[in-house]
Amino acid sequence: MGSSLYIRHCAACHGVSGEGDGPAAEAMRVPPSDLTRIAQRHGGSFPDGEVARTIDGRFEYPAHGSADMPVWGERFGDSIPESSISEEVARGKTVTVVEYLKSIQRSD
């Protein structure tokens, strides 16, 4: 499920492989990150919480500027009218994408 969520919501910018080479990448003001090297950029440790907060997007502080990514925390649960259930769905989808990203990390 993580790979299908990734393909549907992330691949246009980050590329099917996760290397930041999606079809929409060249039109972006800030180039998309290479998601296969998240752990490498963090000293070999994958920062689950930081990645989840980035994907969710609702926890960013205004002082850091505008978000370049969609606020997936809102979009992942927006089709479910019950707020407590929509929050569970949004968190579940976020965790699923985080786990998928952990699975595509490169060490070279």
Flag whether 74 is in a domain: yes
Measure the CA–CA gap between 75 and 92, rounded to whole angstroms.
13
pTM reported for the whole predicted model: 0.86
Flag whether 93 is in a domain: yes
Flag whether 9 is in a domain: yes
Flag whether 27 is in a domain: yes
Q: How many helices (H) and strands (E) does the chain have?
A: 6, 0
- Looking at per-residue pLDDT, the higher value among 56 and 66 belongs to 56
Q: Read off the CATH number of the domain in which 74 is found.
A: 1.10.760
Q: Which two tokens stand for residue 55?
A: 């994907």
What's the structural domain count of the chain? 1
Q: Which of 24-38, 54-68, 90-104 has the weakest average pLDDT?
A: 54-68
> In the predicted model, what is the mean pLDDT of the chain?
89
Measure the CA–CA gap between 100 and 74, rounded to whole angstroms.
20
96 contacts: CB under 8 Å, gap ≥ 6 = 1, 2, 5
Average confidence (pLDDT) over 17-38: 94
Cα torsion 34, 35, 41, 45 to 10°: value is -170
Q: Domain range holding 87?
A: 2-103
Average confidence (pLDDT) over 73-100: 88
